Amino acid sequence: MNRTRTDRLRITASVLAAAAIATGAAACSSDDSDGKTAAAPAGSAAPSTAMSGSPSSDRPFGPACSAVPASGKGSFSGMSTDPVATAASNNPVLSTLVSAVKKAGLVDTLNSAKDITVFAPTNDAFSKLPKADLDKVLADKKTLTGILTYHVAGQKIAPAGLSSGEFKTLNGAALTTSGSGESFTVGKDAHVVCGNVHTANATVYIIDNVLMPPK
């Protein structure tokens, strides 16, 4: 009797162990399935994320766009409601340009123009110029006006138009552009660092060098 009872207990323990193993295997199988299911949406979402900053979305693009205020008059939405010179005056990354525009007496000219494109050098772009040269230019209204108007094209230019373009500027001289995607060169060595910024009367491309008109 004792042996029979012992054998029964052994058999019962074996059955319970087998059931536990089966349950564990099923759980692992379920976890593997869930892992595969969770991975799929991440892969499918990647193309949408990659396209979110592309020029085709008609949104500003470029690495320097992160320096533009997220809200207020100097933000992208704030700039869109003001004419270009006023919009630029509210943007801290363009304060040197705005000072130059005021010295040249071009505020009203730019604000009253229609459907123009402005290639706007950042403060850092102006700081690349030797201080003596910059001070000299800022003190010479005629020279300053010639340089600043070379940064303005008399037409609205979409990002795709920059791929291989030649545009007449308010200076009278032609300005060439090249590139593709989100990488564009303006003139010889200026690059768009935040492009497709909209104001009430202009499209703005913020650039990393000051353009010098041909002599």
User: 57-107 pLDDT, tens per residue?
Assistant: 689 999 999 989 899 999 999 999 999 999 999 999 999 999 999 999 999
CATH (domain of 123) = 2.30.180.10
Same domain, 36 and 95: no
Same domain, 112 and 181: yes
Question: What is the rounded average pLDDT of the residues 41-52?
Answer: 32
pLDDT of 176 reads 97
Q: How far apart are CA 58 and CA 107, in angstroms?
A: 26
Q: What total number of domains does the chain contain?
A: 2
Same domain, 68 and 171: yes
Residue that terminates a domain, selected from 18, 33, 51: 51
Same domain, 66 and 17: no
Question: What is the rounded average pLDDT of the residues 3-26?
Answer: 42
Band the pLDDT of 215: cuts 50, 70, 90.
confident
Same domain, 88 and 40: no
Same domain, 82 and 163: yes
The one-letter code for the residue type at 68 is V
pTM of the model: 0.74
pLDDT of 109 reads 97
pLDDT of 58 reads 82
For residue 212, tell me if it sits in a domain: no
For residue 170, tell me if it sits in a domain: yes
Share of the chain above pLDDT 90, in %: 71
For residue 127, tell me if it sits in a domain: yes
SS3 breakdown of the chain: % helix, strand, coil, rounded to 5? Answer: 55, 20, 30
pLDDT of 16 reads 40
Same domain, 11 and 106: no
Same domain, 26 and 69: no
Same domain, 82 and 135: yes
Does the pLDDT at position 47 exceed 60?
no
Q: How far is CA 214 from CA 102, 104, 197, 211, in A?
A: 23, 19, 26, 9
The model's pLDDT over 103-159, given as tens digits with 9 standing for 90+, comes to: 999 999 999 999 999 999 999 999 999 999 999 999 999 999 999 999 999 999 999
Q: Which domain does 163 fall in, by range?
A: 60-207
Q: How far apart are CA 134 and CA 158, in angstroms?
A: 31
pLDDT of 57 reads 63
Same domain, 102 and 135: yes
Q: How far apart are CA 203 and CA 109, in angstroms?
A: 15
Same domain, 72 and 140: yes
Share of the chain above pLDDT 70, in %: 73
